[in-house]
């Protein structure tokens, strides 16, 4: 874990190194992924089953790729009622927020009498990837499938790995609640390839969404263009801005909540209070003694964690804009000025009673967010990932008379004679009709 102070002479160099080190640790998996995708594209179900059986220690066949409705029902029956209630709380809140996002169509007539507009339509089908390796994530099912369902996508297919053949009942319950129409027991790059290219069993989709490991991320990168994708998700990250009026243990747990995801995750505390910095560092060490996922969290904290002491909260906000984190917590007395100053963050959690974990499960906004500084230019998952806009123009004779000559002039200037003539012949016909 790095301890930095913004007043130290080499702070800028050390800060840049902090941001760059995690990128340099990322393993290259493009070669193996290319081979997997080529095999799935060529041999379909046979390759899909071979890779799945090898990597997940299963024995599936094309006939057993799909998880049946009976299996889903049986799994859901095993979920304790209290967990189903919690799942419903989360699903209802996520659904409500994403319904509020839905845009309206637009149509108007301009001064030239031309009707202009834009309409939104849902994708026909999407493929949802759900991780199933180090941990199971029913919350990711809700966050990816519910926006698609709200947007009106008719077919939502889900791929989830089942290591050793084990199904996760809560994941399947989440899928049923979220409107998933097909579920397949496959994961990894081969699942992305199946959803992108299609096999005899899994029909191709229009967009692939959902987080995964390095192989899944690389597979999504390679199939982009054949299908749409949401993003190339990297390891999770959080920045916590905290003043001295916090419980150090609460802040430590917020940092470790990200660190326990993955050894490559990154947790950063920024504080103007050197005493709080010291207390949080000690609290992190104490929690790592008892945390069930301490091995993962410790690896993340030791390799990529940081505590940065700054002059003031304005400086803290400026550092956040450089980091452009996936998650930002504002654990400070008066968060609004800092909130207003931050331009780049995937999601912001405002106030001492809003830890990032609320957003992971029951907040409402999506927890699929831009990572690895991509919040500088991209946004989290939303209904907009599952709809597309089509513009339209309707022009009558008088409108063409008004705006057509300008189109002819511009087309001729570009040397596109057919463009110019396609307008000019209509204008000539209108002139002849007078």
190 has binding-site annotation: yes
What's the rounded mean pLDDT across residues 90-110?
98
Say if residues 374 and 231 touch (Cβ distance below 8 Å).
yes
**Can you tell me the distance from the alpha carbon of 24 to that of 28, in angstroms, rounded to the nearest whole number?**
10
Strand spans (E) along 74-186: 106-109, 115-122, 125-129, 155-159, 182-184
Phi, psi of 39 (to 5 degrees): -65, -45
327 has binding-site annotation: yes
What's the rounded mean pLDDT across residues 107-127?
97
DSSP state at residue 23:
H
SS3 178: helix
**Can you tell me the distance from the alpha carbon of 409 to that of 372, in angstroms, rounded to the nearest whole number?**
47
Annotated catalytic residue: which of 149, 304, 327, 367? 327
Q: Could you tell me which residue, 356 or 27, shows the higher pLDDT?
A: 356
Edge-first strand listing for the sheet containing 182-184 = 182-184, 155-159, 125-129, 207-209, 228-229
Say if residues 307 and 1 touch (Cβ distance below 8 Å).
yes
Region of poorest pLDDT, from 57-61, 279-283, 325-329: 57-61
- Supply 154's token pair: 């008719």
Mean pLDDT score of the chain, rounded to an integer? 94
258 has binding-site annotation: yes
* Residue 98: active-site member: no
- Supply 14's token pair: 């050390």
399 has binding-site annotation: no
96, 103, 369 from 379: Cα distances, Å:
19, 16, 7
* Residue 149: active-site member: no
**Vertex 377 angle, CA 10 and 269, to 5°:** 40
**Can you tell me the distance from the alpha carbon of 30 to that of 51, in angstroms, rounded to the nearest whole number?**
16
Annotated catalytic residue: which of 95, 218, 281, 326? 326
Q: Which helix (H) or strand (E) holds 228?
A: strand 228-229
Return the pLDDT at 434. 63
What's the rounded mean pLDDT across residues 360-385?
95
Return the pLDDT at 108. 97
Say if residues 126 and 155 touch (Cβ distance below 8 Å).
yes
**pLDDT at residue 91 is higher than 70:** yes
Task: Write the pLDDT tens digit of every residue in 156-208.
Answer: 999 999 999 888 999 999 999 999 999 999 999 999 999 999 999 999 999 99
**Can you tell me the distance from the alpha carbon of 160 to that of 168, in angstroms, rounded to the nearest whole number?**
9
Say if residues 168 and 187 touch (Cβ distance below 8 Å).
no
Return the pLDDT at 23. 66
Q: Which residues pair with 7 in a beta bridge?
A: none
396 has binding-site annotation: no
**Can you tell me the distance from the alpha carbon of 292 to that of 307, in angstroms, rounded to the nearest whole number?**
23
419 has binding-site annotation: yes
Phi, psi of 104 (to 5 degrees): -100, 150
Tell me the CATH number of domain 396-433, given options 1.20.5.1300, 3.30.460.80, 3.40.50.970, 2.40.50.100: 1.20.5.1300
Q: Which CATH architecture has domain 44-77+119-231?
A: 3-Layer(aba) Sandwich (3.40)
Domains 44-77+119-231 and 396-433 share a fold: no
213 has binding-site annotation: yes
Q: Tell me whether strands 155-159 and 266-271 are parallel, antiparallel or unpaired.
A: unpaired
DSSP state at residue 167:
-
108 has binding-site annotation: no
Task: Write the pLDDT tens digit of every residue in 200-250.
Answer: 999 999 999 998 888 999 999 999 999 999 988 888 999 999 999 999 999
Q: What percent of the chain has pLDDT over 70?
A: 98
Domain ranges for the chain? 2-25+234-377, 44-77+119-231, 396-433
Looking at the domain that runs over 2-25+234-377, which CATH code has it been given?
3.40.50.1980
Closest CA to 199 of 63, 52, 40, 58: 40
DSSP state at residue 242:
E
Return the pLDDT at 137. 85
Return the pLDDT at 211. 85
The tally of CA atoms less than 13 A away on the side-chain side of residue 15 is 21
DSSP state at residue 56:
H
Task: Write the pLDDT tens digit of every residue in 9-40.
Answer: 999 999 999 988 876 555 678 899 999 999 99
Return the pLDDT at 212. 84
Task: Write the pLDDT tens digit of every residue in 286-320.
Answer: 999 999 999 999 999 999 999 999 999 999 999 99
For residue 415, how far is the Cα from the chain centroid? 43
Contacts of 327 (CB under 8 A, 6+ apart): 236, 237, 238, 239, 258, 345, 346, 347, 349, 356, 359, 369
Q: What percent of the chain has pLDDT over 90?
A: 89
Q: Tell me whether strands 327-331 and 347-350 are parallel, antiparallel or unpaired.
A: parallel
129 has binding-site annotation: yes
Contacts of 112 (CB under 8 A, 6+ apart): 399, 402, 403
Task: Write the pLDDT tens digit of every residue in 259-275.
Answer: 998 898 999 999 999 99
- Supply 327's token pair: 């998650």
31, 242, 245, 315, 346 from 272: Cα distances, Å:
45, 8, 11, 9, 23
**pLDDT at residue 105 is higher than 80:** yes
């Amino acid at each position: 874990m790095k301890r930095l102070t913004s007043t130290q002479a080499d702070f800028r160099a050390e800060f840049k190194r902090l941001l760059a080190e995690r990128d340099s640790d990322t393993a290259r998996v493009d070669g193996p992924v290319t081979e997997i995708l080529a095999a799935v594209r060529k041999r379909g179900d046979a390759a899909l089953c071979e890779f799945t059986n090898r990597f997940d220690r299963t024995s599936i066949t094309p006939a057993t790729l799909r998880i049946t409705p009976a299996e889903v029902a049986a799994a859901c029956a095993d979920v304790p009622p209290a967990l189903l209630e919690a799942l419903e709380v989360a699903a209802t809140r996520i659904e409500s927020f994403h319904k509020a996002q839905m845009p309206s169509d637009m149509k108007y007539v301009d001064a030239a009498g031309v009707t202009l507009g834009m309409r939104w339509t849902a994708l026909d089908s999407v493929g949802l990837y759900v991780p199933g390796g180090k941990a199971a994530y029913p919350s990711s099912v809700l966050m990816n499938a519910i926006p698609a369902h709200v947007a009106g996508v008719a077919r939502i297919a889900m791929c989830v790995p089942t290591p050793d053949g084990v199904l996760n009942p809560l994941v399947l319950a989440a899928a049923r609640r979220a409107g998933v129409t097909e579920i397949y027991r496959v994961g990894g790059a081969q699942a992305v390839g199946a959803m992108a290219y299609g096999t005899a069993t899994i029909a191709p989709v229009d967009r692939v969404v959902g987080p995964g490991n390095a192989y899944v991320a690389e597979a999504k990168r390679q199939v982009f263009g054949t299908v749409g994708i949401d993003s190339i998700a990297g390891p999770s990250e959080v920045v916590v801005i905290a003043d001295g009026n916090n419980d150090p243990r609460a802040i430590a747990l917020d940092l470790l909540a990200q660190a326990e995801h993955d050894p490559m995750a990154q947790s950063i505390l920024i504080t103007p209070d050197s005493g709080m910095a010291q207390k949080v560092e000690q609290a992190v060490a104490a929690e790592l003694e008892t945390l069930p996922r301490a091995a993962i969290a410790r690896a993340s904290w030791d390799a990529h964690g940081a505590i940065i002491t700054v002059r003031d909260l304005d400086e803290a906000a400026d550092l956040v804009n450089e980091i452009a984190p996936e998650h930002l917590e504002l654990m400070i007395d008066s968060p609004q000025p800092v909130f207003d100053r931050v331009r780049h963050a995937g999601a912001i959690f405002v106030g001492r009673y809003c830890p990032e974990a609320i957003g992971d499960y029951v907040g409402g906004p999506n927890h699929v967010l831009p990572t690895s500084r991509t919040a500088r230019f991209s946004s989290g998952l939303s209904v907009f990932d599952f709809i597309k806009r089509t513009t339209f123009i309707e022009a009558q004779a008088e409108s063409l008379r008004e705006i057509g000559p300008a189109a002819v002039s511009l087309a001729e200037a570009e040397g596109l004679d057919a463009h110019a003539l396609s307008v000019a012949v209509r204008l000539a016909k209108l002139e002849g009709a007078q």
